[in-house]
Amino acid sequence: MTPIDGLGSLWDRLLGAQPDPPPLLVLATAAVALVVVSTRLPWRIARNVITIAHEGGHALAALLTGRRLHGIRLHSDTSGLTLSAGRPTGPGMILTLLAGYVAPPLIGLAGAWLLGGNRITLLLWVAVALLLAMLVMVRNAFGVVSLVVTGGLVLAVSWYTSPQVQAAFAYTGVWFLLLGGVRPVVELQRVRSRGRMPASDADQLAGLTGFPAFFWVTFFALVNMVTLVVGAALLAGPLLTDAGLHL
């Protein structure tokens, strides 16, 4: 095989569509993701993925609004921090703060759209590319380890496993992002109600906009719930097709 043939084969593998997943796989991966989100120890471990998406959302919004991104830190307690420079007020700062809590389910929605077209390999490789891009901006050891381990796992699944395993992994990951975006908002309000998080994204938005922090917590919750419903509808396409229905 010539290098050109090899490149063409790789390109076909990346952009090609995989077969429709069995309906049982869609249901089983949703159940697994729900168990992870709703139980303490699995959530404590997997929540690092939500933090990566959260801080990535802040970072992307900062770059898109013209702010200077100074770095990202991910901590072992699943908290994170994204530092950017620019005007301390105005639309850029507001959008940067808004992006964190809504980023995980929105990323999940994009993943659900790709899975709806059976682009499983493409989804996994895009995930690896995004993690590598974020790695450049990470400024602490735990953050580097988190991204390398997460990216390495996704790359290994995409390269070495069977299409069935890839599908199960991709669907579980997307369900987790959709479902896992809701719990942090609930946790945010619970912690805020105890006065233990005075500098949260919602409180900073309250200071910038004049709308109370609870308004922004509610906004996060509504966006994430709507995104979950739309993403679930995309992922459930094979189930509806099997039942003779259409989206």
**Could you report the per-residue pLDDT of 79-136, keeping only the tens digit for each?**
999 999 999 999 999 999 999 999 999 999 999 999 988 899 999 999 999 999 999 9
User: What is the phi-psi region of residue 19: left when phi exceeds 0, alpha when psi lies from -120 to 50, beta otherwise?
Assistant: beta
- pLDDT tens digits, one per residue of 218-246: 999 999 999 999 999 999 876 665 555 55
pTM: 0.91
Task: Tell me how far apart the alpha carbons of residues 195 and 114 are, in angstroms, rounded to a whole number.
Answer: 40
Task: Supply 136's token pair.
Answer: 């450049």
pLDDT in the model for residue 247: 46
pLDDT in the model for residue 12: 55
**Secondary structure of residue 212 in the 3-state scheme:** coil
Residue with tokens 């390999």: 121
Is the Cα dihedral 229, 169, 49, 30 positive or negative? positive
The amino acid present at 56, given as its one-letter code, is G
| Mean pLDDT, residues 31-42 | 96
- pLDDT tens digits, one per residue of 137-146: 999 999 999 9
* Mean model confidence pLDDT for the chain: 90
- pLDDT tens digits, one per residue of 68-93: 999 999 999 999 999 999 999 999 99
Residue 16 pLDDT class (50, 70, 90 cuts): low
